[in-house]
Amino acid sequence: MLQLLVKSTEITEIKYLMDNEQDQLAPKSLELVHKLKQKYEATGQDMNTYLEGLYHATYLSYWDYINLDTLLTLQQPKTSFPDERTFIIYHQITELFFQLIRNSLEQISETENLTAEYFTKQLNRAINYLEHLKNSFSIMFDGMDREQFLTFRTSLTPASGFQSAQYRIIEIYSTDVFFLVQKDLRGSFIIEDAPEKLMDFLYWRRGAVEMESLKKTFTLRQFEEKYLPSLLQVANEYRDKNLRQKWLKMPEAERWNPDLVAAMRRFDHLANVEWPLVHFRTATRYLDRKPQELAATGGTNWKEYMQPKNQQVTYYPELWSEVEEQSWGKNVTKEQIGI
C-alpha cells in the first residue's frame, strides 16, 4: 500500500514537471513577448490587451485578405452585352497594373543616394508591367465582338480611358512636366519652369478638343474639374524627384551605366510608343469605319490625337539620337507590338 502511494506521488510529480515543461515558452517566444512589451510600453499601451485580442481574432483567409468578394462586385455593366464585362474588367486590370508601375517608380523617387543597380532593378519591374499591358491588349483587340462593342459603347458616353488619372500620374513621375507640354509649344518655356506655368499646355489638354469646334471636350472638362488640383500637387511634389531629375542627380559614372540607360530607353519607348500604338490600333479596329471614322466616347479627334508620332512625347530626350527622335512612333512593326 505504501509502495503504491509513493508511486502515485512520483507520478503526480512527473506529470507536474511535464506540464510545466510544456508551459515553458521557448526562448524565441520569450524574446518576441519581450519585444512586444517594449513596443507597447513605448506608446503607453498595455501588451496584454493586444495579446487577448490576438487570442480572440479569427484566422485570416485568402478571400478576406484580397477582398475577393468586394473585388468581384466591382463590375457594373451599363448594358446586358456580355462583352461589356470584358471591357470593364480589362480596364480595371490595367489600372491595377498602373498601380504596380507607380509602386516601382515611387521607390526610385524616394531613394536617397540612388545607385544605377537599384534604379535599374526597379525600372525593370515597371518595364515588365508595361510589357504585360502591351502584350495583353489583344484582350481588347480580339476579345470583344465588334458589333457588341459598337452598341454598348454608346451607353458609356462621355466616359473615356482618357480620364485615367493614374496614366497622368505615371507621366508626371517619369519626367519633368516640360517634356509633357505639347511639342510645338515647348519653345516658349524652359525645363525649370514651375508646373503652374506649364500645366495649361500639356499635350493631352491641348489634344482633347472637339473634332468640329476645337473646344475642350466635355470629357476633358470633367476630368480637369476632378483631378487637375491633385495632378498639380503631384507635379510640384515630383518636381525635384521625378525619374529624370533622379537620374540627372546621380554621379556621372552611375548615370551612364549601360544597363540603366537601356532600361530608361525601353521604359520610354514602351510608355510613349508601343503601348499607345497598340491602343491606337485597337481603337482603329473598332472605330475606323470608312469613309469616315466613328466619334470616340471622349469626343476627341482621336485619329490625329492618339498617334505617338503626333504626340511626340519622350521622357528622356537626351537618350535618343536626332534620327531616333525624328522617327519617333514611326515604322513600328506588327512583330514589335503584336497587333
Q: What are phi and psi of 109, to 5 degrees?
A: -65, -35
Q: How far is CA 333 from CA 64, 101, 277, 299, 339, in A?
A: 44, 25, 10, 28, 9
Min separation Cβ 323 and ligand HEM, Å? 24
Give CA–CA dist 141/279, Å, rounded.
Answer: 9
Min separation Cβ 273 and ligand HEM, Å? 12
Give the footprint of ligand HEM on residues 66-95 (CB under 6 A).
90-91, 94
Count, residues near ligand HEM per rule CB under 6 A: 23
Q: Give the residue, chosen from 130, 202, 296, 337, that forms a contact with ligand HEM under the rule CB under 6 A.
A: 296
Give the footprint of ligand HEM on residues 220-279 (CB under 6 A).
276, 279
Backbone dihedral region of 299: left (phi > 0), alpha (psi from -120 to 50 degrees) or beta?
A: left
How many other β-carbons are positioned within 10 Å of the β-carbon of residue 35?
11
339 is an interface residue for ligand HEM by CB under 6 A: no
Q: With the C-alpha atoms ordered 170, 174, 178, 184, is the resulting torsion angle positive or negative?
A: negative
Give the footprint of ligand HEM on residues 181-210 (CB under 6 A).
204
Give CA–CA dist 34/25, Å, rounded.
Answer: 12
Q: Which residue has the cell 489583344?
A: 138
Residue 137: name the closest of 91, 168, 88 by CA: 91
140 is an interface residue for ligand HEM by CB under 6 A: yes
286 is an interface residue for ligand HEM by CB under 6 A: yes
Closest to ligand HEM by CB, 273 vs 306, is: 306
Give the footprint of ligand HEM on residues 305-334 (CB under 6 A).
306
Closest to ligand HEM by CB, 101 vs 108, is: 101
283 is an interface residue for ligand HEM by CB under 6 A: yes
164 is an interface residue for ligand HEM by CB under 6 A: yes
Q: How far is CA 166 from CA 45, 96, 103, 242, 284, in A?
A: 39, 10, 11, 15, 24
Q: Which residues lie near ligand HEM (CB under 6 A)?
A: 90-91, 94, 140, 160-162, 164, 167, 204, 276, 279, 282-283, 286-287, 296-300, 302, 306
